[in-house]
Amino acid sequence: MKRVYVNEEWCLGCHLCEYWCVFSASKETHFPFAFDGGAKPPAGIRVEDYKGINFAVNCRHCEDPLCLKGCISGALSRDESGAVCVDKTKCVGCHTCIAMCPYGAIVSGGDNMPIKKCQLCASRDHVPQCVAHCPNNAIVFEEE
Amino acid sequence: MKYVIIGNGVASVGAIEAIRKNDKEGSITVFTDETYSCYGRPLISYYLEGKTTLDKMGYRGENFYKENNVSLMLGRPVTKLDAENKKVTAGGKKYDYDKLLVATGSSPFVPPTPGYEKVKNKFTFIRLSDALAIEKKVTKKSKVLIVGAGLTGLKAAEGLYPRAGKITVVDMADRVLPAVMDAESSAIIQKHLEGKGIKFCLNDSVREYSETAATLAGGAKIDFDVLITSVGVRPNVALVQDAGGVCERMTESGRPFRGIVTDDNQKTSLDDVYAAGDCTLSYDVTIGNTRPLAIQPNAYLQGEMAGNAMSGGITFKRNYLPVNAGGFIGLHIITAGSYVGEATTVRTENSFHRFFVKDNRLMGFIQIGEYSRVGILTDMIRKCTPIGSVDFQELIREPKLAALGMDYVKAVLNK
Amino acid sequence: MDEIERMVNEVDEKYREGNVRIPSGCAICGYFSKKGRALPAIDAVDAMAYMHDRSNGLGGGFAGYGIYPDFPDHYAFHIFYDNEHAREETESFLKIRFDISNMERIPTKKVYGISGAPLIWRYFGRLEPEVKAHTELDEEEYVCQTVIHINTKIKGAYVFSSGKNMGVFKGVGFPEDVGEYYRLGDYKGYCWTAHGRYPTNTPGWWGGAHPFNILNYTIVHNGEISSYDANRRFMEIYGYKCTLLTDTEVITYIIDYLNRKRKLKLEDVAKVIAPPFWSQIEKMEEKEREKLTTLRNMYASLLITGPFSIILGYTGGMMALNDRLKLRSMVAAEKDDVTYVASEECAIRSICPNPDRTWSPAGGEPVIVELEKEGR
Amino acid sequence: MIDYIQPDYEVVRNKDLCIKCKVCVRQCANEVHQYDEKRDVLYADNSKCVNCHRCVTLCPAKALKIVKTDHCFKPSANYTTEIIKDIYRQADTGGVLLSSMGTPKDYPVYWDKMLINASQVTNPSIDPLREPMEIKTFLGRKPETVKYREDGSIEVEKFPNLELKTPIMFSAMSYGSISKNAHLSLARAAEQLGIFYNTGEGGLHEDLYKYSLNTIVQVASGRFGVHEDYLNAGQAIEIKIGQGAKPGIGGHLPGKKIGPEVSRTRMIPMGTDAISPAPHHDIYSIEDLRQLVFSLKEATNYKKPIIVKIAAVHNIAAIASGIARSGADIIAIDGIRGGTGAAPSRIRDNVGMPIELALAAVDTRLRDEGIRNNVGLVVAGSIRSSADVVKAIALGADAVYIGTPALLALGCHLCRSCHAGKCNWGIATQNPELVRRLNPDIGYKRLVNLVNAWSHEIMEMMGGMGINSIEALRGNRLMLRGIGLSEKELEILGIKHAGE
């Protein structure tokens, strides 16, 4: 399976991945529309900034996905490509997955809202948008 | 190979998914007294609340049983287990098995109280059938009495909040969520719920019921239209117990059994009989011993482990721990582990975070309100990560992988 | 000279070889007896007639080897003169530098289709021993310098053949007419090469017709080389003056430079002019690879690209070579001791109906034939 | 003090598009973009903008553009805005004006005044997709004569040559003037392409020794980083006499760019200015050059070709002739439009001559003197495209050096502010935070792409001319025709006018 990997050496902390993630998940066709009001909605990827080191973290689509196994509603499942995806119509926002994910890769979608996570942009594009728009190859999408 | 699974909860699904990874051929038969295919039990409060619907509640897709070639015997409870001859009896018929999984779950405990039998609209709150029955009886004018301020009781309160007129919660304990909160955090939840109009009678219990009222030990009288009892559950161990399987007895709490005893791979003391989920005990890494951990993530993981063990897949010792997450009318909590050792609290305007450290390990935490990436902390508890090896101050400020050290980050994120 | 004729001549002059770069497309043929038998020149004329359509009447010519058995050790100078004045000037220059044993007009006959012929003379000469003793140049270089001097310094004179026991016969017209004009039926030699020309941009000048000659080398060439200026500018480093601006001229100089001056074997000359591709060289066994790499590198600017087929005549041998992509047709054949090469197989079969074998030489693979025994 | 200088550029932010992601704030090392948290407003300080396009390029919403200001002085063709501003600047500081990269002045670009030939009918063009098309190039002195051994093999005098898979090399750019990641990108690209990059006068970082097979090491007047291992680390040694952008003067790398790694590599103390003298103080004449050439040959066992790089100046042909006789194997000539990491503006913009004229003059002179084959000829100084390469080779060059196009491939936007050391693209900077912006994994691929693309185009053009081997193009001036050139220019270039 192709996965998203991180080269922290090259991460610039520009946070563009987060914005492209939001845009990708929004299914909007015009970039700014995904950010109505200017506030950044939660993204499926997050750039860590710690003592001058930056890197992006998103779902590892683990072999042993504790989020999926802990999900109370069955909203999390693997798609054909192996990506762990959320069915937003089934998710009740209980946050058990957030409690279970060892990487902190799942974020709250807000009260009563489905959670957000990386879905490898399965429905939009072949290459995840965070990878496609990383200016410095700090995130790559490669076979294991 | 004939696999038989008793019970239709998520442990059962975990087992089916694991078995089918290893064995595409063997027959799988699932017996259940319920008439629905698997759903997440905690969803029933969300159902009442209107956050989900019956058609969305299926734990797996419509064709799950068909795709996995499983015979699902709905409404067919198993009444007897003959471990010696490897047979189970259901609906008067006997069925052979080669490997059996007992995933019978637990049943609500209703304390014997005078007058309870007189109550017309009385319910427990554990199954979808409970929710569907309650739904019919509750209207905007209903007064609802909930006995039990634990997770189930409060989730019931949340579920009914938009539907009912008045909700009162009674509990013997002096605080809400006594099993998953400490006193200070309990108070935050209680205050929040009281702010929403829910009434609490704590440190008290029902002395006697009439048809539409309860008289409390403290003397108060509470009128209700609908009574929900949710003081706790008892593991369903009878089948295994009767067949001679070892179950752990618990004397001091009054419960006859804490659960079916299994090894790390969920095997019971009976040959070819496995058990998983609420009817069993789990190894709680934060106490270093087994105990009942009736939470859904564990049920799935144990079912999966059992399924692997039954079908020759990979098995290993999992570290389990209590993890609870959920909202109470807009206020979310996530808790994990045990609340032992030194507590550190970080409060902000919108959050209350408390961490428990003992023996250079994070043992547990309580997070209320806003939080992020707490799974990183759960993982530390699960893995017994030494506090000294991480930037703990940063972690409790805001969980991040970098605070666990770049070696770890590279190991998990780099190719 | 009336005004119109003067203007026409001016135009002629403007587009004459040397004033304008002239690439050419043509017909060529050649044949060679390894036993040194005297082959009739008329076969070449006939063969060229078969490829009539490859020429356009603006130039044709022939070169024969072993044709002057009476003067085997004399340089045979064939010279065009525009007028008697040029002849007088040239002859007085020649006489100072050579001991002229014989001089005559080259016999010609009137032929329909051939007009505007210059005065055509030939001289058989040897180096004055005195001169030989005094010059710093070796003999061949001395001859070359003489030719270059006449061609560049004496107006109206043009030496078009200057080897020993060989001669070039060329002019403006179809090659078969040129052959008839020069009465080639009267000549025999062990080797003949011929050329019919299809230039696109010149009125034609007798001196510009082919074969091109320097000393004993003659070249007939069909093609238009795209490396021309790279080759020319390299040759000019070594003192060659490419006055005609033709491909044939520069190819002749390259061969003269590599074979005569640098003493490269002809097969190696072929590998410089039309080397194998690097990709082929890389696959060769080490010795060969090193050799070809060295040659390609050191004589890089002598690589000729663009389409060409050439026949080189030299004393005692003949070499035919195609460009390395074989962008021009060239067929070879053998019958007994005679090797034939021509642009088209029909030309060969017109004079040798049943060859022992015919083949199409690969690009860059020279066909070299030489006299079997002493006879050079 | 009054600041007389008004901003050259204005940042235009389209508020309808801006999503306030602040990537512009985070990415501008010049601190042009600012965010006011209280007002939730993004704003720009135009005076700091160098028009490097980092913000514009990274803005995900495409909400930014940089425009030339229309604020103006009273128009004058004589006292232009640039002249006036330069005078203000010098009146402010009393200093020499510095600039970077190639001159922006409007000197004739002869490449654009020469047209390339193609085959039609009389000979065929060659399709590089179907036929081999050879662009492999050897650089160095060629032997003239061959001796045959008994076994038919040949014996020639051996001279060290550089072998290039395509006649393009990366110009000298020192570690110090550009970042380590830029150097790494160049080195890796050279390796992949089978060509060479050039260390410039900055020594060779230890991490780059592994690219030795594709390295040319430079020895310049400051002798920075020169030691025995260094000399032997490359495949050729280049003696830098001059640079097209600043003929006649040395170099100056400010102390703030001399961090620990640059210091170690250059073998100079940290934080001190690295000043290369104007001349080599051991070369005051052509005989001295010969001594240095042979010293270096001696130091490297006569295994490496020696390149002598000079700036194109008025007497270039005679100078090149002298160098060709000095024992040098390759002459590199850099024209006035060549780039630099820092040069006095007046020098950059006024000294030297266009490379096309220098090349034509040198090639002609070396041929006239019969010594063209004694040296390889490499030209530099604004080779901007494959067409320029083809024209340079047709004029007589063996190969070209490219500097600016290589930097452009790496992300350079020609803001010409290298000397400030705050290159937002991670190229002309030593600030680790900025250097990190140039990931060599990306950089080298872009360079490889660029050179491969040019090579393809070179082959296409060669095929069009009916040439399938680069050596047949070299010096093939008949393949060029001038357009709009004077008789004199045509004469120097040695080409005819179009239509002739």
CATH topology of domain B110-229: FAD/NAD(P)-binding domain (3.50.50)
What beta strand segments (E) does B91-202 contain?
Answer: 93-96, 99-102, 106-108, 122-124, 143-147, 166-170, 199-201
Q: Structure tokens of B100?
A: 């059996």
How far apart (Å, rounded) are the C-alpha atoms in residues A57 and D104?
Answer: 44
Q: Are B301 and B283 in contact (CB under 8 A)?
A: no
Q: Are B36 and B13 in contact (CB under 8 A)?
A: no
Residue type for position D280: H
Q: Are C318 and C311 in contact (CB under 8 A)?
A: yes
Q: State the average pLDDT over residues D406-429.
A: 95
Query: In this structure, what are the phi and psi dihedrals at residue D31, rounded to the nearest 5 degrees?
Result: 55, 40
Of D284, D280, D295, D307, nearest to D218 (Cα)?
D307
Any contact of B with D, at least 3 CB pairs below 8 A?
no
Which domains are delineated in chain A? 2-139 (3.30.70.20)
CATH topology of domain B338-413: Enolase-like; domain 1 (3.30.390)
Provide the pLDDT for residue D310.
Answer: 97
Of B332-341, C21-30, D372-381, the poorest mean pLDDT is in: C21-30
**D60 contacts A16? CB cut-off 8 A:** yes
User: What total number of domains does chain D contain?
Assistant: 2
Instruction: Please list, residue by residue across B269-299, b when 16 or more beta carbons sit within 10 angstroms of its beta carbon and e when fewer do.
Output: bbeebbbbbbbbbbbbbbeeebbbbbbbbbb
Q: Cα dist. B373→B378, C47, D27, D468 in Å?
A: 9, 93, 27, 63
Separation in Å, CA of A60 to nearest CA in chain B: 8
Which residue matches tokens 């490379």? D355
Select the residue of B57, B327, B336 nearest A111 (Cβ to Cβ): B327
Count of other CB atoms within 10 angstroms of residue D378: 28
Q: State the average pLDDT over residues D180-192.
A: 98
Chain D residue numbers with beta carbons less than 8 Å from the beta carbon of A23 are 60
How far apart (Å, rounded) are the C-alpha atoms in residues C71 and C123?
Answer: 10
Q: Does D321 touch chain C (CB under 8 A)?
A: no
How many DSSP H helices and E strands does chain A contain? 4, 6
Domain ranges of chain B: 2-107+233-311, 110-229, 338-413
DSSP B235: E
pLDDT tens-digit profile of D443-455?
Answer: 999 999 999 999 9
How far apart (Å, rounded) are the C-alpha atoms in residues B110 and B234?
Answer: 10
E strand or H helix that includes residue B327: strand B323-328
pLDDT at C4 over 60: no
Same domain? D69 vs D181: no
Q: State the average pLDDT over residues B70-89.
A: 95
Peptide bond into C203 cis (omega under 30): no
Average pLDDT, chain B: 93
How far apart (Å, rounded) are the C-alpha atoms in residues B336 and B42?
Answer: 17
Same domain? D301 vs D379: yes
Q: Is residue D318 part of a domain?
A: yes
Nearest chain A residue to D433 by CA: give it.
Answer: A12
Query: In this structure, what are the phi and psi dihedrals at residue C344, rounded to the nearest 5 degrees?
Result: -130, 145
Same domain? D183 vs D39: no
- Across the beta sheet with C217-223, the strand order is C212-214, C217-223, C308-314, C317-322, C367-370
Residue C375: pLDDT band with limits 50, 70, 90: very low
Q: Structure tokens of D329?
A: 């194997």
Q: State the average pLDDT over residues D232-237.
A: 96
pLDDT tens-digit profile of A122-136?
Answer: 555 578 999 999 999
**A14 contacts D60? CB cut-off 8 A:** no
pLDDT tens-digit profile of D281-313?
Answer: 888 888 899 999 999 999 999 999 999 999 999
Same domain? D62 vs D155: no
Q: State the average pLDDT over residues D459-487.
A: 96
Separation in Å, CA of A10 to nearest CA in chain D: 6
Which of A31, A46, A131 to mutate against chain D (most D CBs within 10 Å)? A31
Same domain? D25 vs D83: yes
Provide the pLDDT for residue D1.
Answer: 79
Domain ranges of chain C: 21-229+308-370
pLDDT tens-digit profile of A6-60?
Answer: 999 999 999 999 999 999 888 888 999 998 866 677 889 999 999 989 999 999 9
Q: What is the pTM of this model?
A: 0.89
Any contact of B with C, at least 3 CB pairs below 8 A?
no
pLDDT at B203 over 60: yes
Q: State the average pLDDT over residues C322-330.
A: 91
Angle at B87 between CA B83 and CA B91, to 5 degrees: 130
Nearest chain D residue to C263 by CA: give it.
Answer: D146
Q: Is residue D89 part of a domain?
A: yes
Separation in Å, CA of C326 to nearest CA in chain D: 11
Contacting D residues, span 387-446, partner chain C, CB-CB under 8 Å: 396
Provide the pLDDT for residue C131.
Answer: 75
Which of A98, A140, A143 to mutate against chain B (most B CBs within 10 Å)? A98
For chain A, what is the largest distance between any 2 Cα atoms, rounded to a whole number of angstroms? 39
**C277 contacts D134? CB cut-off 8 A:** yes
**B46 contacts A103? CB cut-off 8 A:** no
Q: State the average pLDDT over residues C321-333.
A: 93
**D156 contacts C298? CB cut-off 8 A:** yes
Q: Is C26 a catalytic residue?
A: yes
Q: Are B13 and B297 in contact (CB under 8 A)?
A: no
pLDDT tens-digit profile of B287-301?
Answer: 998 888 889 999 999
Q: Structure tokens of A30?
A: 């015009």
Q: What is the SS3 string spanning chain D?
A: CCCCCCCCEEEEECCCCCCCCCHHHHHCCCCCEEEECCCCEEEECHHHCCCCCHHHHHCCCCCEEEEECCCCCCCCCCCCHHHHHHHHHHHHHCCCCEECCCCCCCCCCHHHHEEECCCCCCCCCCCCCCCCCECCEEECCCCCCCEECCCCCEECCCCCCEEECCCEEECECCECCECHHHHHHHHHHHHHHCCCEECCCCCCCHHHHHHHHHEEEEECCCCCCCCHHHHHHCCEEEEECCCCCCCCCCEEECHHHCCHHHHHHHCCCCCCCEEECCCCCCCCCHHHHHHHHHHHHHHCCCCCCEEEEEECCCCHHHHHHHHHCCCCCEEEEECCCCCCCCEEHHHHHHCCCCHHHHHHHHHHHHHHCCCHHHCEEEEECCCCCHHHHHHHHHHCCCEEEECHHHHHHCCCCCCCCHHHCCCCCCCCCCCHHHHCCCCHHHHHHHHHHHHHHHHHHHHHHHHHHCCCEHHHCCCCHHHEEECCCCHHHHHHHCCEECCC
Chain B residue numbers with beta carbons less than 8 Å from the beta carbon of A117 are none
Same domain? D303 vs D209: yes
Q: Are D162 and D196 in contact (CB under 8 A)?
A: yes
pLDDT at C376 over 50: no
Provide the pLDDT for residue C1.
Answer: 44
Q: Report chain D residues touching chain A, CB-CB < 8 A.
A: 16-23, 26-27, 40, 57-58, 60-63, 436-439, 441-442
Q: State the average pLDDT over residues D89-103.
A: 93
Query: In this structure, what are the phi and psi dihedrals at residue D391, rounded to the nearest 5 degrees?
Result: -70, -40
Instruction: Indicate the SS3 state at residue B144.
Output: strand
Separation in Å, CA of A136 to nearest CA in chain D: 6
Q: Which CATH number fits the domain that encloses residue D37?
A: 3.30.70.20
Helical segments of B50-93, H only = 64-67
How far apart (Å, rounded) are the C-alpha atoms in residues B168 and B211?
Answer: 16
CA quadruple B239, B244, B247, B248: dihedral positive or negative? positive
Q: What is the SS3 string spanning B200-216?
A: EECCCCEEEECCCEEEE
Q: Is residue D269 part of a domain?
A: yes
Nearest chain A residue to B379 by CA: give it.
Answer: A102
pLDDT at D143 over 50: yes
Q: Structure tokens of C286?
A: 């080490």
Average pLDDT, chain D: 95
Residue C8: pLDDT band with limits 50, 70, 90: low
Of B278, B277, B260, nearest to B269 (Cα)?
B260
Q: Does B378 touch chain A (CB under 8 A)?
A: yes
B: neighbours with 3+ CB pairs under 8 Å?
A: A
What beta strand segments (E) does chain C contain?
Answer: 25-33, 39-40, 60-65, 75-81, 98-105, 119-127, 157-161, 166-171, 188-189, 191-198, 212-214, 217-223, 308-314, 317-322, 331-335, 338-342, 357-359, 367-370
Q: Does C20 touch chain D (CB under 8 A)?
A: no
Strand pairing class (B213-216; B206-209)? antiparallel
Provide the pLDDT for residue C9.
Answer: 59
Which domain range does residue D14 map to? 9-95
CATH of domain B2-107+233-311: 3.50.50.60
Nearest chain A residue to B367 by CA: give it.
Answer: A99
Instruction: Indicate the SS3 state at residue C175.
Output: helix
CATH topology of domain C21-229+308-370: Glutamine Phosphoribosylpyrophosphate, subunit 1, domain 1 (3.60.20)
Q: Cα dist. D212→B406, C64, D129, D203, D491 in Å?
A: 33, 58, 33, 13, 42
Q: State the average pLDDT over residues C189-200.
A: 86
Select the residue of A9, A12, A38 nearest D19 (Cβ to Cβ): A38
Q: State the average pLDDT over residues D483-491.
A: 97
Instruction: Indicate the SS3 state at residue C48.
Output: helix
Let me know if the fold of B2-107+233-311 is the same as that of B338-413.
Answer: no
Which of C229, C251, C261 to mutate against chain D (most D CBs within 10 Å)? C229
pLDDT at C15 over 80: no
Instruction: Indicate the SS3 state at residue B315.
Output: coil
Q: Are D481 and D117 in contact (CB under 8 A)?
A: yes
Q: Does D143 touch chain C (CB under 8 A)?
A: yes
Q: Does A51 touch chain B (CB under 8 A)?
A: yes
